[in-house]
Amino acid sequence: MENIILEARNTFSDVHLTNDYRIKRYRNNFQIHLNTLFDISNVIVDDSQAIFNDTALILTDRIYHQTEGFVIESLDDLEDESINEEFDNLQGFLYEKIRRELGMYYDRTSLELLKMIDRTVHSAILSVKYNYFSKCNEFINPWESENNIFTDNKVLHLFSTNRDEVVDFIDDDSNESNEISDKKIWILAKGHRSDTTHGFVRDLLGLRNTILAILDESASSYRNPMKTEIIIRKLRQMGISQDEYSDSNIKNWLITPLKRNNRIGSSKDGYFMLNTCDDIAFSYGSHLENLKGYFRTLESHRRLAEQKNCLSTHNLNEHIEFLLRYLNLPS
Amino acid sequence: MAILDIFNNEIVEFVNFPNDQVFSIEFGAGRGCFGKKFLPACYLTDAVNNNLPHFRELEEYSENSQCHYLDSMYDFINSEDLGRTFTKLIFCNPYDFGVGGYGETKQFLSRAGQLLDVGGEILMIGGVKNRWVKHKNAVTFYEELIAHNNLSYEFQISQPIVLDENHEYRQNHVFTLCDINVEIKPTQMYKITKVA
């Protein structure tokens, strides 16, 4: 484990801030950070408290920081003082490294720049420290992608959901519908240059709520499901471009989490709201048929493996073991 | 059941913010009433009220009521100066402002310096894993700011006190992250005194 901190220090040492602002990959890294952070919070928060299911929820800086703090305080169980001290040293090293790296562009009177350095150091430290949390293997490390903004995209960064906070730095002249225009997280980035660059990602919690509103209007029950393509077309009409989110991004980042969190039901004909017992039963029936199909395939694979004497070298009982574990039955 | 302060009086609302004879102020109070319970002549403020009713608007209220106890909406970082100073500033589990980093600490202490009397103190309460309030961060970043001549005020930072589950604050108060409706347990408390 000690090598992790040493390796991280070497990686940070090798970072040289870019002076090329043409490519904005930092946006994607920040979007992945947001997705993974909120996915973790959804899992660890007590269901009865889950504000993340509030359909009116729009991500704000306060909600972001409270959620991040809650995730850190829930997962960070590193008590070893000597390791914590190593992280304090790594933090000091990073501050110095970034100030040196900025050179003539380091302005200690610029609060925006100082806060960019703070956020960059914070995510860098957590991306490494996460590996020491006892539950680190249960989730994807949300700070790894954010730290990639520094180590791979070679820029410092700062973000805000509040347009007024970053208004001096951005030019937001897009023609978007009202449903999505206020659901943005602005990102400021700075490399080895005097100026900054900026971009934005969407508030996925807000966009998921936009999808719920679309379904509520046109697919309020299992009798009128809406196909994925129609949902995507409606989002495109609102101003979400293919460059920003591909069709598979929309499916994986927006629609699937809604399905996984019991917010919407689905059948082979599309998605619909889960408003009534009939809606729930219809979606259940559809998934049950899928499960039976998968189960029959898995069973026939297992029987074939049995015939070919593969079971001593390959475990093809995992589907049975999974069910027993899920139902809490002795294996 | 009404909420009582440490002197067994019902907590009160101060209606002439910021001009009452009140010398303590809590920022980012959310829907908690920590300052009014434990100080208790204390303003409660926050940047937003989360669309909850004020406790005085309810016929009856208790600590479980869905309400807030704010005397005024006030954003510690961004609101206009109040034109007065205080002897005590209180921060319970701050997130989004505090001693989270070098720049954050500069912003936090600069603002606190404007609002504090000389000899007045900041009460910091929170978890040791919360970077915005972590004692070690406060010491490290304050010392760096002074070394770099990058702060207009001088402060003294006390040693931290452990807030275990038997401490009166933990025994008699439930701390929540109000925007995400999650309970949180502070584990540490310390003071930052304005020296000059």
Cβ of B110 under 8 Å from any chain A Cβ? Answer: no
Res. A172 pLDDT band, cuts 50 70 90: low
- CA atoms within 13 A of residue A94's CA, in its CB half-sphere: 31
Percent of the residues in chain B that have a pLDDT greater than 70, as a whole number: 100
> Across the A/B interface, how many CB contacts are shorter than 8 Å?
81
Q: Kind and range of the H or E element at A127?
A: helix A111-129
Q: Contact B95/A62, CB-based, under 8 Å?
A: yes
Q: Contact B184/A119, CB-based, under 8 Å?
A: no
Q: Cα separation of A263 and B18, whole Å?
A: 45
With contacts defined as CB-CB under 8 Å, which chain B residues touch A72? 129-130
**Residue closest to B94 by CA, chosen among B114, B76, B80, B106:** B76
Residue B21 has pLDDT above 70, yes or no: yes
pTM for the model stands at 0.86
Quote the pLDDT of residue A331.
66
**Average pLDDT, rounded, for chain B:** 94
Res. A38 pLDDT band, cuts 50 70 90: confident
Residue B86 has pLDDT above 80, yes or no: yes
Q: Cα separation of B96 and A61, whole Å?
A: 7
Q: Which residues contact A28 (CB under 8 A, 6 or more apart)?
A: none
CA distance A272 to chain B (A): 27
Cβ of B131 under 8 Å from any chain A Cβ? Answer: yes
The number of beta carbons lying within 10 Å of the beta carbon of residue B125 is 21
Mutate one of B177, B183, B184, B187 to test the A interface: name it (highest A CB count within 10 A). B177
Residue A125 falls in which region: left (phi positive, over 0), alpha (psi -120 to 50) or beta: alpha
Cβ of B88 under 8 Å from any chain A Cβ? Answer: no
The string of pLDDT tens digits covering residues A235-287 is: 999 988 888 889 999 998 889 888 887 889 999 999 999 999 999 999 999 99
Q: CA B173, B179, B180, B186: dihedral to nearest 10 degrees?
A: -30
**Residue closest to A141 by CA, chosen among A150, A149, A133:** A133
Q: Contact A117/B101, CB-based, under 8 Å?
A: yes
3-state secondary structure of A48: helix
Residue A165 has pLDDT above 90, yes or no: no
Q: Cα separation of A265 and A283, whole Å?
A: 5
Quote the pLDDT of residue A174.
65
- Tally: H helices and E strands in chain A: 14, 5
**Average pLDDT, rounded, for chain A:** 89
With contacts defined as CB-CB under 8 Å, which chain B residues touch A70? 177, 180, 182, 184
With contacts defined as CB-CB under 8 Å, which chain B residues touch A86? none
Mutate one of A41, A51, A65, A106 to test the B interface: name it (highest B CB count within 10 A). A65
Quote the pLDDT of residue A204.
83
With contacts defined as CB-CB under 8 Å, which chain B residues touch A88? 136, 140
Cβ of B48 under 8 Å from any chain A Cβ? Answer: yes
Average pLDDT over residues A135-145: 93
Q: Which domains does chain B have, with CATH numbers?
A: 24-194 (3.40.50.150)
Cβ of B108 under 8 Å from any chain A Cβ? Answer: no
Res. A169 pLDDT band, cuts 50 70 90: low
Average pLDDT over residues A85-109: 96
Residue B81 has pLDDT above 70, yes or no: yes
For residue B132, what is the nearest residue in chain A, using CA coordinates? A69
Average pLDDT over residues A145-161: 96
Count Cβ neighbours within 10 Å for each residue of B56-73 and write b for 16 or more, e otherwise: eeeeebeeebebbbbbbe
For residue A68, what is the nearest residue in chain B, using CA coordinates? B95
Q: Cα separation of B178 and B182, whole Å?
A: 7
A25 neighbors A200 (Cβ within 8 angstroms): no
Average pLDDT over residues B49-62: 89
With contacts defined as CB-CB under 8 Å, which chain A residues touch B145? none
With contacts defined as CB-CB under 8 Å, which chain A residues touch B127? 73
Q: Which of residues 137-166 of B touch A (CB under 8 A)?
A: 140, 148, 150
Question: Is omega for the bond preceding B53 within 30 degrees of 0, making it cis?
Answer: no
Q: Beta-strand (E) ranges in chain A?
A: 156-160, 184-190, 197-202, 264-267, 270-273
For residue B127, what is the nearest residue in chain A, using CA coordinates? A73
With contacts defined as CB-CB under 8 Å, which chain A residues touch B149? none
Cβ of B18 under 8 Å from any chain A Cβ? Answer: no
Q: Cα separation of B29 and B58, whole Å?
A: 19
The string of pLDDT tens digits covering residues A39-93 is: 888 778 765 455 665 656 778 899 999 999 999 999 999 999 999 999 999 999 9
Structure tokens at B76: 């510690």
Q: Cα separation of A175 and A171, whole Å?
A: 12
Average pLDDT over residues B111-121: 97
With contacts defined as CB-CB under 8 Å, which chain B residues touch A68? 95
The mean-pLDDT minimum among A63-72, A153-162, A179-188, B125-134 falls in A179-188
Quote the pLDDT of residue A48.
47
For residue A115, what is the nearest residue in chain B, using CA coordinates? B103
Q: Contact B101/A108, CB-based, under 8 Å?
A: no
Structure tokens at B75: 């954003």
